[in-house]
């Protein structure tokens, strides 16, 4: 779908320089706060310029005056262009432009005036404004004199508080009507506007001043008002596309400061529009659920078929409009010192232990090794001794013998310890790398988290030995050194949902110019082939379906009536010194023909008892219930759901014999097990966690 600006002729710059630059309105057509879904015929900026430009007076008299009047000036100025819009996949705007009005002082030429006379003139004008509005605005004498000496042909904004320009409201303008004109003018400028407030704030980012306005002598190309540039998110990643091309105007002034003529050399060209893969409704449902259920958390939703990121939410967030035109220092300090880190994009920058969600990787790696299959039975006691350490299950009671489906459903730690040790470290870590862990996904946002997967080669290089059994046991359940972002975990589920390849996560669909032409398109592509064995994939999916729908599954709270969810819970030790833990829920739906992959993380408060099934799974239920219940009845998504069969189940087994294992140094711990030592990676297991 293409988008276009609705352009109208604006008098932004005629207000900017009411005394000196009345004709510059033709340079900056105002970009309206809306996106239309069909291109509308509009007159070009150039045509408007030709229509609106007044005839210039004869210049021979001016040339003659230059010979004798040194105060006559010819200026070549740059007119900043309005930035392009940032919109969701359906054209709902996240970032647009609006006009802002400020109060500015215009200094007349005062022949042989003393410094005291110049500053007194400025102070008198500003005092009248303050009396009318009840303000305390001021300019330092140094600033006034510097401007008068070098830049008196241009307005000087003085409606400033804490270093930020203050907008003039219509009510304020009404009160100032008797004073406007001559030395007091209203200057216009473009400002960024974020119509959705804080929605997708960590993705969209914000802008800031490219540079302060010059204060020295005017040089060719000086801007007539402040230019903006991207500082975070898409605003900075696509800054060169969004910022457009500034216009150029030549203006001639008489010795007394009167504008004599102007020549538009180039009209400003608005920036390009950036169309995201984000679905506004998906994003809003995710953010609302996170606000309702967490003080810190994230959720990512991806389209399994093409890698489109439909939602990438982090909680808490912030209102992007607080950064327009800049953020006050007190408020910025509040945001940066907030212990819940509202500026931190957890969904793609946060690196967390993936906990039991990583058991899906362990299961796939063990099955791929050929040393474990769908019928392999391991006993699942409440703890195992591995070397000189004791590694516990979350369940204080032994659960008997299990196969992989039951182990996934019950999230049995001791089964995965044994499966990993039976298979060997390389099969587990290679599967993790194959599924996208340990490397950035490549979305166009700076400082994306890389995550970490320890391998035998890494440990040989940094520790002088291969992975020890205790290290592998930790990694098998997503603890220890392994780290992942919510986006990486979601990407893994998209790969498992497809089975043959991991789609490249896609955050931007295309970039469009002012005429709706696509100037850059980002086509769906595969990140890599993974070609999971169909029987292994189906076995793991059966366990994930049992997590949500099976008797004794740990993720029942995620179930929805519209589709069958395949999922996996997880609970991780996180900030051990603060007694803070993490809860995860990840998976895809429908299980029989995956359409959406997702990952949710819940950051527990200090001392809070949590589990993935208790805290993260209900968020999945709420978000996808909203997605399906609030979609139109004829939505293709709903029609596709009706045709998806239930996922076939691999038979679960419990009890009975255990497949013989040749793994050394592993045996059921004798009750009561000794407390795990605090040293090394094993020290992470000082508590039991519900899954």
Domain of 440, CATH number, reads 3.40.710.10
Instruction: Find out whether 17 and 185 touch, Cβ atoms under 8 Å.
Output: yes
For 151-162, what is each residue's pLDDT tens digit?
Answer: 988 899 999 999
Instruction: Find out whether 420 and 468 touch, Cβ atoms under 8 Å.
Output: no
Residue 53: predicted pLDDT: 44
| Integer Cα distance of 561 and 189 in angstroms | 52
Question: Is residue 433 domain-resident?
Answer: yes
Residue finishing a domain among 252, 276, 300: 276
Claim to verify: residue 250 and residue 392 sit in the same structural domain: no
Nearest CA to 83 out of 243, 206, 320, 275 is that of: 243
Claim to verify: residue 250 and residue 326 sit in the same structural domain: no
User: Residues 471, 477, 483, CA angle at the centre, nearest 5°?
Assistant: 75
For 257-287, what is each residue's pLDDT tens digit?
Answer: 677 888 889 999 999 999 999 999 999 999 9
Residue finishing a domain among 235, 260, 276: 276
Claim to verify: residue 205 and residue 299 sit in the same structural domain: no
Claim to verify: residue 199 and residue 307 sit in the same structural domain: no
Instruction: Find out whether 357 and 489 touch, Cβ atoms under 8 Å.
Output: yes
Claim to verify: residue 521 and residue 654 sit in the same structural domain: yes
Helix/strand/coil for 548: helix
Question: Is residue 63 domain-resident?
Answer: no
Claim to verify: residue 286 and residue 242 sit in the same structural domain: no
Quickly state the pLDDT bin for 647 (edges 50, 70, 90): low
Domain of 252, CATH number, reads 3.90.1310.10
Claim to verify: residue 266 and residue 305 sit in the same structural domain: no
Nearest CA to 145 out of 167, 173, 123, 163 is that of: 123
| Integer Cα distance of 255 and 561 in angstroms | 79
Question: Is residue 457 domain-resident?
Answer: yes
For 383-431, what is each residue's pLDDT tens digit?
Answer: 999 988 899 898 888 889 999 999 999 999 999 999 999 999 999 999 9
DSSP bridge partners of 597:
302, 588
Claim to verify: residue 285 and residue 431 sit in the same structural domain: yes
Question: Is residue 221 domain-resident?
Answer: yes
| Integer Cα distance of 291 and 258 in angstroms | 57
Claim to verify: residue 285 and residue 229 sit in the same structural domain: no
Claim to verify: residue 149 and residue 185 sit in the same structural domain: yes
Claim to verify: residue 254 and residue 400 sit in the same structural domain: no
Domain count, the chain: 2
CB atoms inside a 10 Å sphere around CB 446: 11
Residue 395: predicted pLDDT: 84
Q: State which residues form the domain around 221.
A: 7-53+70-276
Phi, psi of 45 (to 5 degrees): -60, -40
Question: Is residue 451 domain-resident?
Answer: yes
Question: Is residue 226 domain-resident?
Answer: yes
Q: How many helices (H) and strands (E) does the chain have?
A: 22, 29
For 568-610, what is each residue's pLDDT tens digit?
Answer: 999 998 998 889 999 999 999 999 999 999 999 999 999 999 9
Question: Is residue 197 domain-resident?
Answer: yes
pLDDT at 436 over 80: yes
The CA distances from residue 602 to 32, 203, 340, 484, 619, in Å, are: 39, 20, 12, 14, 9
Claim to verify: residue 575 and residue 666 sit in the same structural domain: yes
Quickly state the pLDDT bin for 70 (edges 50, 70, 90): low
Question: Is residue 689 domain-resident?
Answer: no
Residue 636: predicted pLDDT: 81
| Integer Cα distance of 602 and 299 in angstroms | 9
Share of the chain above pLDDT 70, in %: 82
């Amino acid at each position: 779908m293409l988008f276009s600006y609705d352009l109208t002729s604006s008098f932004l710059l005629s207000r900017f320089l009411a005394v000196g630059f009345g004709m510059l309105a033709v340079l900056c057509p105002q970009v309206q706060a809306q996106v239309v879904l069909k291109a509308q015929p509009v007159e070009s900026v150039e045509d408007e310029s030709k229509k609106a430009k007044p005839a210039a007076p004869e210049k021979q008299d001016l040339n003659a005056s230059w010979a004798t009047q040194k105060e006559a000036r010819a200026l070549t100025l740059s007119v900043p262009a309005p930035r392009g819009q940032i919109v969701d996949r359906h054209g709902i705007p996240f970032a647009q432009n609006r006009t802002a009005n400020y109060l500015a002082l215009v200094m007349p030429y005062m022949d042989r005036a003393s410094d005291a006379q110049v500053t007194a003139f400025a102070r008198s004008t500003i005092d009248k404004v303050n009396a009318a509005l009840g303000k305390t605005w001021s300019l330092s004498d140094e600033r006034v004199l510097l401007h008068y000496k070098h830049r008196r042909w241009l307005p000087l904004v003085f409606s400033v508080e804490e270093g930020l320009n203050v907008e003039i409201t219509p009510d304020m303008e009404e009160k100032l009507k008797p004073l406007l004109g001559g030395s007091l003018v209203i200057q216009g400028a473009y400002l960024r506007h974020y119509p959705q407030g804080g929605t997708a704030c960590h993705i969209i980012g914000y802008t800031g001043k490219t540079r302060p306005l010059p204060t020295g002598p005017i040089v060719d190309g000086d801007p007539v008002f402040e230019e903006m540039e991207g500082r975070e998110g898409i605003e900075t990643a696509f800054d060169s596309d969004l910022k457009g091309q500034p216009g150029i105007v030549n203006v001639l002034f008489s010795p007394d400061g009167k504008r004599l003529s102007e020549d538009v050399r180039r009209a400003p060209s608005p920036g390009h529009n950036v169309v995201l893969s984000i679905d506004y409704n998906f994003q809003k449902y995710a953010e609302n659920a996170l606000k309702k259920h967490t003080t810190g958390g994230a959720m990512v939703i991806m389209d399994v078929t093409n890698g489109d990121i439909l939602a990438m939410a982090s909680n808490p967030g912030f209102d992007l409009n607080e950064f327009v035109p800049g953020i006050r220092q007190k408020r910025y300090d509040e945001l940066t010192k907030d212990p819940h880190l509202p500026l931190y994009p957890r969904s793609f920058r946060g690196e967390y232990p993936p906990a039991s969600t990583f058991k899906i990787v362990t299961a796939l790696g063990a099955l791929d090794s050929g040393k474990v299959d769908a019928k392999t039975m391991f006993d699942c006691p409440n703890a195992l001794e591995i070397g000189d350490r004791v590694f516990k299950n979350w369940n204080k009671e032994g659960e008997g013998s299990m196969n992989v489906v039951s182990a996934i459903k019950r999230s049995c730690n001791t089964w995965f310890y044994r499966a990993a040790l039976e298979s060997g470290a390389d099969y587990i870590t290679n599967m993790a790398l194959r599924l996208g862990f340990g490397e950035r996904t490549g979305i166009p946002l700076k400082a994306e988290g890389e995550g970490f997967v320890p391998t035998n080669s890494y440990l040989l290089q940094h520790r002088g030995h291969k992975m020890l059994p205790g290290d592998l046991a930790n990694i098998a359940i997503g603890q220890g050194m392994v780290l992942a972002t919510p986006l990486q975990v979601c990407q893994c589920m998209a790969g498992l949902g497809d089975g043959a390849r991991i789609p490249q996560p896609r955050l931007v669909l295309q970039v469009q110019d002012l005429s709706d032409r696509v100037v850059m398109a980002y086509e769906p592509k595969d990140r890599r082939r993974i070609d999971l064995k169909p029987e292994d994939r189906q076995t793991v999916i059966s366990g994930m379906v049992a997590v949500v729908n099976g008797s004794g599954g740990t993720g029942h709270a995620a179930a929805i009536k519209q589709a069958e969810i395949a999922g996996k819970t997880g609970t991780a030790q996180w900030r051990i010194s603060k007694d803070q833990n993490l809860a995860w829920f990840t998976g895809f739906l429908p299980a029989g023909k995956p359409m959406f992959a997702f990952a949710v993380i819940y950051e527990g408060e200090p001392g809070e008892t949590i589990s993935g099934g208790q805290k993260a799974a209900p968020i999945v239920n709420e978000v996808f219930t909203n997605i399906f219940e609030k979609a139109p009845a004829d939505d293709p998504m709903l029609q596709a759901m009706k045709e998806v069969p239930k996922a076939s189940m691999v038979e679960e087994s419990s009890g009975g014999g255990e497949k013989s294992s040749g793994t050394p140094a592993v045996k059921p711990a004798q009750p009561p097990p000794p407390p795990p030592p605090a040293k090394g990676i094993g020290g992470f297991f000082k508590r039991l966690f519900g899954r």
